[in-house]
Amino acid sequence: MDIDTKMEKEACTVRIEGEMTIYNAIEIKKGLDQCLGSAGEIRIDLSRVTEIDTSGVQILLLAKREARRLKRGLKIVSHSQATRSVYELYNLAHHFEDLRA
């Protein structure tokens, strides 16, 4: 798993590559927390996620909740087939309105 965080002015882009599973949940959360603490807008790129489990979904839901609480914008800019499949399996597509883009 690789997580790349890039700041550009007021926006932070987090690109996650590989597995979003319980085995690397802490590392992913740290990367997202870093952006939530310093950027006005957060973009999460999931286009290279190869596997996602319940822990990965929980982190995304937590990031969305924290962004709302902190009055920050958060958008998932790209979804992999693995993430789309899990959203459908858990009936969570409505929580990730970004899927329509």
pLDDT for res 4 = 92
Are 79 and 45 within 8 A, CB to CB? no
pLDDT score at 98: 61
What's the pLDDT score for residue 100? 47
- Residue 99 pLDDT greater than 70, yes or no: no
Q: What is the pLDDT of residue 101?
A: 42
Strands 11-20 and 2-8: antiparallel
What is the rounded distance in angstroms from the CA atom of residue 85 to the CA atom of residue 23? 20
What's the pLDDT score for residue 38? 85
Q: What is the pLDDT of residue 47?
A: 95
Query: Into how many domains does the chain fold?
Result: 1
Full domain range(s) for residue 44? 2-100
Calculate the average pLDDT of the chain.
Answer: 90
Tokens read off for 86: 């899990």
| pLDDT at 39 (0 to 100) | 86
pLDDT digits 0-9 by tens, 36-55:
988 889 999 999 999 999 99
For residue 94, the model assigns a pLDDT of: 79
